Amino acid sequence: MANKNDTDQKLASAFKSLLEERSFDNITINDICERSGTSRRNFYRHFKDKYDLMCWIYQEEFCIPVFEMQVPHFADLMPLICKYWYENKAFMLHALEVKGPNSLREFSIKRVTPYLLKDYGSAFDESIDVKPLISELVEFGHNMLFNWLKGNPNIGPEEYSNLFLSMMINVSSSMYSLMKKPAEESENV
Identify the CATH number of the domain in which residue 29 sits.
1.10.10.60
Q: Are 2 and 75 part of one and the same domain?
A: no
Q: How many CA atoms lie within 13 A of 187 on its CB side?
A: 5
Residue 29: the pLDDT is 97
> Cβ distance 57 to 15 under 8 Å?
yes
By percentage, how much of the chain surpasses pLDDT 90?
39
Q: Are residues 37 and 56 in the same domain?
A: no
Averaged over 134-146, what is the pLDDT? 84
Instruction: Please check whether residues 14 and 31 belong to one and the same domain.
Output: yes
pLDDT on residue 168? 77
| 147 and 161, same domain (yes or no) | yes
Contact 54, 98 (CB under 8 A): yes
Enclosing domain of residue 26? 1-47
Intra-chain end-to-end CA distance of the chain, in Å: 76
Give the per-residue pLDDT at 33: 97
Residue 174 scores a pLDDT above 70: yes
Look over the chain and give the mean of its residue pLDDT values, rounded to a whole number. 85
Residues 6+ apart with CB under 8 A from 10: 2, 36, 37, 38
Q: What average pLDDT score do residues 30-34 get? A: 97
Identify whether residues 129 and 43 lie together within a single domain.
no
pLDDT of residue 1 exceeding 60: no
Residue 2 and residue 40 in one domain: yes
Same domain, 176 and 144: yes
User: Residue 182 — pLDDT band, cuts 50, 70, 90?
Assistant: low
* Domain boundary pick from 32, 47, 62: 47
Q: Which of 9, 26, 47 represents a domain boundary (last residue)?
A: 47
User: What's the whole-number mean pLDDT along residues 128-144?
Assistant: 82
| Number of domains, the chain | 2
**Are 86 and 38 in a shared domain?**
no
What pLDDT does 51 receive? 92
Same-domain pairing of 38 and 62:
no
179, 90: one domain: yes
Mean pLDDT of 48-64: 93
CA angle, residues 155, 73, 54, in degrees to nearest 5: 65
Which value, to the nearest 10 degrees, does the dihedral of the CA atoms of residues 83, 89, 93, 98 take?
Answer: -70
- Least confidently predicted of 26-35, 87-96, 119-128: 119-128
- Tell me the C-alpha distance between 119 and 25, whole Å: 36
Are residues 105 and 148 located together in one domain of the fold? yes
Do 126 and 106 lie in one domain? The reply is: yes
Contact in structure between 142 and 99 (CB atoms under 8 Å): no
Span 108-134, mean pLDDT? 80
Interior/surface letters 118-139, b for 16+ CB within 10 angstroms, e for the rest = ebbeeebeeeeebeebbeebbe
